[in-house]
Structure 1
Amino acid sequence: MNTNTAHTATLRVDADRLWNSLSELGEVGAFEDADTGLRGVRRLALTDDDVAGRQLVVGWMHEAGLAVRLDEAGNVYARRAGADDSLAPVMVGSHIDSVATAGRFDGCLGVLGGLEIVRTLNDHGITTQRPIEVAIFSEEEGARFGTDMLGSATAAGRIELADARARTDRDGVTFGAELDRYDLVGTQRVPMPVAPYAYLECHIEQGPILEANQSEIGVVQGVQAITWLELEIVGRAAHAGATPNALRHDAELAAALVRVRLDEMVTSGDYGAMLATVGRHETHPNLINIVPSHVLLTVDLRNHDDSEMTRAETDLTNFFHEVEQQVGVTITHRTTAKTPPVRFPDSMQDLVAKCAANLGFRHEVITSGAGHDAGEIAALCPAGMVFVPGLYDGISHNPREYSTPEACANGINVLLSAVIELAGE
């Protein structure tokens, strides 16, 4: 590391510059939310708004002197050379795509925080021994193409490129076709030909723990298991007044039984710390006086324990068969996403904790309830995460999502300290 510079121990990012970057990116895809009266963000993956957001951030990356490249899945890597540029890079990053009703912090803090680290090193003329790369991963949310962490999972090799490209949105448009349309297919192969030396990601917590405990930093020990299912329930349409109950094949009744069973599985405690959500529910023909013939619904399962998750999936599938017999319907289901639990190495947790303590921040160990790109890149190299608190009970995927300028800067300063140490090895 270049020692003819300011002491790195006292180095801090420009909190105002970081906040201004978050605010400016937050205007790309912005909308006025009727429910909250707040300004939200809608940048579904590989839409015009998502691509406009990419162009804005990539422009900033070029201004910071970074060399930008794309891989075959449209993931962005912006490289700051090291003193020994042959060494594997320290990578920081996240995503900038969003759900349809997002705030401006989810994912964006990790990307723009990485950019702010580079800007800070540039400001102070610091050259690290290892190169540093800032990554933007494609379709992390899964809100459009139905599989979360699609870009990073493809970069890490868990999802084959052909399978990723074949993923479709609700209109039948494929991920690959959109990559081609926007000219986002790069020359770097997937999986990554060279694994990073280490990967770090700073993220808003998306939960209430840090705020409730008045902790400034979360040291993330891992990510829980996630399974997404899509169910199609087929019954038979019938007149609501003329069809006796015993002769009905009510797809909506079957859906209701599944939803109640999910709640029983969660509240019973029989499957550990399990969570279940039905986020999408579509009924056909969706008319007041017709017994529904079709229901499409999605199930999101979360669990800290992989064996408990497997048991829950098996029991739920068996319950589908019971409902078929009871109601006289057919239930078909498919798994659209499945990620195992990930525990980050103790060395990465210890590094984040040490950096937080050195900066005087109250911190605690926390397991992420949400999926993150770090969970995928952990298959390639040591990975870790820094959480910052969100206000309003940590609400996220909502225009009310909010973290303060101070909290964001605190998290990125911890990230900066950790990156400097790793990049000096």
Structure 2
Amino acid sequence: MTAIANGHSGLDVSGLRIDGGRLWDSLMRLARIGATDKGGVCRLALTDLDGQGRDLVREWALELGCEVRVDAIGNLFMRRAGTRDDLPAVMAGSHIDTQPTGGKFDGNYGVLAGIEVLRTLRDHGIRTEAPVEVVAWTNEEGSRFVPVMMGSGVFAGAFTLEHALAQRDREGVSVAEALARIGYAGHQPDDPVRVRAYFEAHIEQGPVLEAHDTVIGAVQGALGQRWYDVTIQGQEAHAGPTPMEMRRDALLAAARLIESVNAIALRHAPHGRGTVGWIDNFPNSRNVIPGRVRLTVDLRAADDPVLDAMDRALAQACSALEDGGGLSVSLEPVVYFPPQAFDPELVGLVDEFAGRLSYSVMPVVSGAGHDAVYLARVAPTAMIFVPCKDGISHNEVEDARPDHLEAGCNVLLQAMLRVAGVGAIEGDAA
């Protein structure tokens, strides 16, 4: 990706800064929609509350004179025209749907940081050469509908629009029905949206930046993920009469597998991850030896060779449980996200402008999935991380410092300006 040179030689934008107080106020105002008693936010995708959040963000974009459009999966695009509107857009975004016990910043920061960039350009009369867009992607969290990262996934062609619209929540409501109900069932554009570069500002959702007392994370890429459903079949039996050496205890086997998952991840440090996050024990009775256990396994790594090695190690661990134990183990792969590197030039801009703005910066890898992972399949992409308190996210106590959020948005502003170019200032001929 070749960055667009600054198109207005008489304007030095290096001193341009966003209004951190205004960004914070916007975040707090959006957080009132779906606010929880514990200080978090519950604004599930395509609920009435999500519709109210979208309406607010859309209102802010219209106040800035943006062209606002909604595609068929409900992605909300807010476009500020450039002096060369034929050029592909420089885009920033994230999502505003939350977890059931979510926080104020996950996703929301990326969208509102983009809005704050647009406000700053308006305040200073700056027209970029390339158009600048902010996007709020639909159903990133996947709390109500699966798959996760739905809107960006459809945009990038990871799955079809028809498949996404047909998905249903636990009450049987489809995505298509929910979009129509809140007034965000849009239309596919005649011409595909062209993206020159995509930036996503986000809280880290982990403890690394805070532990290193660092303000900006220049995200190198996102870990690949493999998810599995595991069923271990043994035999229920009475806890009293059955001797220990004659048991076919499925829960004991599950405990050994959980230890193996942990060990596999530790063997592939520093970016290996292994988690058993859900378990179902049958019959789950105090005095019955468990006869069947179902559980999930989540493996993550920074590159495919390591992820493949972890996959083989997990298969071997499952086979070992069957050997001589009178058990059967079913290992079913259910999700694969390949590791995704971000664009080196854009990542370099994040690093460069963090340094120019005198913010501490370090390279990091995202352990979580983000809309940027799908955007990286179709456009040069980078992420900007800022710390969150104690590394906690997907939690009502999720928190971030206003000065850190301001710093990340300043880096976003400068990086977007570098790529979009400065075409004119107010009063100049476009």
TM-score (norm 2): 0.87
Structure-1 residue corresponding to 2:92: 92
Mapped partners of 1:331, 1:118: distance in 2: 54
- Counterpart selection for 2:402 from 401, 405, 409: 405
Q: Give the letter aligned to residue 210 of structure 1.
A: L
Q: Which runs of 5+ in 2 are unaligned?
A: 1-5, 423-430
CA distance in 2, matches of 1:390, 1:205: 6
Whether 1:303 and 2:308 are equivalent positions in the alignment is: no
- Map of 1:236-275 to 2, 5 A cutoff? 236-241=235-240, 249-267=248-266, 269=267, 273-275=271-273
2:421 corresponds in structure 1 to: 424
Whether the 8 Å contact between 1:2 and 1:127 is mirrored in structure 2 is: no
CA offsets 1:251-292 (integer angstroms, 9 cap, x no match):
43343232121012123x157631111222233444434444
Per the TM alignment, residue 221 of structure 1 is displaced from its structure 2 partner at its CA by 1.5
What does residue range 164-243 of structure 1 map to in structure 2 within 5 Å?
164-169=164-169, 174-188=174-188, 193-241=192-240
RMSD: 2.9
Distance in 2 (alpha carbons) for counterparts of 1:254 and 1:286:
15
Secondary structure of residue in 1 paired with 2:159: coil
Q: Do residues 376 (structure 1) and 374 (structure 2) align?
A: yes
Letter of the structure 2 residue corresponding to residue 215 of structure 1: T
2:204 is matched by which residue type in structure 1? E
SS at match of 2:40: strand
1:72 is aligned to 2:72? yes
Contact 2:51 2:183 in 1 (8 A): no
Closer, same or farther in 2 for the Cα pair 1:179/1:289, shift >3 Å? farther
CA separation in 2, counterparts of 1:65 and 1:332?
56
Alignment of 1:414 onto 2:411: yes
Per-residue deviation, residues 78-108 of structure 1 (Å, max 9, x unmatched): 1111112121100100112222332211111
Counterparts in 2 of 1:415 and 1:272: CA distance versus 1, 3 Å:
closer
Q: Secondary structure of the equivalent of 1:51?
A: helix
Distance 1:194 1:91 in 2: 11
Q: 1:381 to 1:252 in 2, by over 3 A?
A: same
CA distance in 2, matches of 1:94, 1:265: 32
Q: State the SS of the aligned residue for 1:396.
A: coil
CA contact (8 A) 1:154 1:161 kept: yes
Task: Tell me by how many angstroms 1:356 deviates.
Answer: 1.6
Aligned equivalents of 2:233 and 2:52: distance in 1?
A: 41
Equivalent residue in structure 1 for 2:34, among 29, 34, 46: 29
Which of 350, 353, 364 aligns to 2:362? It is: 364
Q: Read off the aligned partner of 2:27 and give its amino acid letter.
A: L
- Are residues 387 and 242 of structure 1, via their aligned partners in 2, closer, same or farther at CA, if it must alter by over 3 Å? same
How many Å apart are 1:331 and its aligned residue?
A: 4.2
**Residue 326 (structure 1) shift:** 5.3
The 3 A distance-change label for structure 1 pair 214 and 83 is same
Letter in 2 for 1:77: F
> CA contact under 8 A between 1:147 and 1:336: conserved in structure 2?
no
Pairing 1:85-124 to 2, within 5 Å after superposition: 85-124=85-124
Aligned partners of 2:265 and 2:310 also within 8 Å: no
Q: CA deviation at 1:295?
A: 3.7
Q: 1:280 — aligned with what?
A: 278
Paired positions, count: 417
Shift of 1:309: 0.6
- The residue type equivalent to 1:216 in the other structure is V
Pairwise CA distance, 1:176: 4.6
Question: SS at the partner of 1:302?
Answer: strand
**Matched letter for residue 397 of structure 1:** H
Q: Percent identity?
A: 42
Provide TM-score, normalisation by structure 1.
0.88
> Secondary structure of the equivalent of 1:41?
coil
Q: Cα deviations across residues 30-50 of structure 1 (Å, max 9, x unaligned)?
A: 223xxxxx4222233333333
Tell me, in whole angstroms, the C-alpha distance in 2 between the residues paired with 1:376 and 1:118.
24
**Alignment partners' CA distance in 2, 1:71 and 1:334:** 35
Q: In structure 2, what residue type is equivalent to 1:361?
A: Y
Greater shift, 127-136 or 324-333, is seen at: 324-333
Per the alignment, residue 162 of structure 1 pairs with 162
Q: CA deviation at 1:333?
A: 4.5
Residue in structure 2 matched with residue 35 of structure 1 by the alignment: none
Task: Measure, in 1, the Cα distance between the counterparts of 2:246 and 2:169.
Answer: 36
Amino acid at match of 1:348: L
- Structure 1 equivalent of residue 426 of structure 2: none
Distance 1:178 1:290 in 2: 44
Is 294-303 or 402-411 further displaced after alignment? 294-303
Q: 2:204, 2:388 within 8 Å by CA — same for their partners in 1?
A: yes
- Identify if the C-alpha distance between structure 1 residues 363 and 272 changes in structure 2 by more than 3 Å, giving closer, same or farther: closer
Query: How far 1:364 moved relative to its partner?
Result: 1.7
Q: Is the 8 A contact 2:265 2:299 kept in 1?
A: no
Task: Measure how far apart 1:174 and its partner are.
Answer: 4.7
Distance 1:385 1:137 in 2: 15
The separation in 2 between residues aligned to 1:361 and 1:270, in whole angstroms, is 31
Sort the Cα spacing of 1:378 and 1:243 in 2 relative to 1 into closer, same or farther, 3 A.
same
Q: Distance in 2 between matches of 1:255 and 1:62?
A: 54
- Match of 2:128, SS state, is coil
Amino acid at match of 1:52: Q
Distance 1:416 1:270, change over 3 A: closer
Q: Distance in 2 between matches of 1:184 and 1:163?
A: 18
Closer/same/farther in 2, CA of residues 374 and 17 from structure 1, 3 Å limit: same
Q: In the alignment, is residue 51 of structure 1 matched against residue 51 of structure 2?
A: yes
> Does the 8 Å contact 1:142/1:148 carry over to 2?
yes
Tell me the amino acid that sits aligned with residue 51 of structure 2.
V
**Closer, same or farther: CA 260–18 of 1 in aligned 2, 3 Å:** same
Shift of 1:365: 1.8
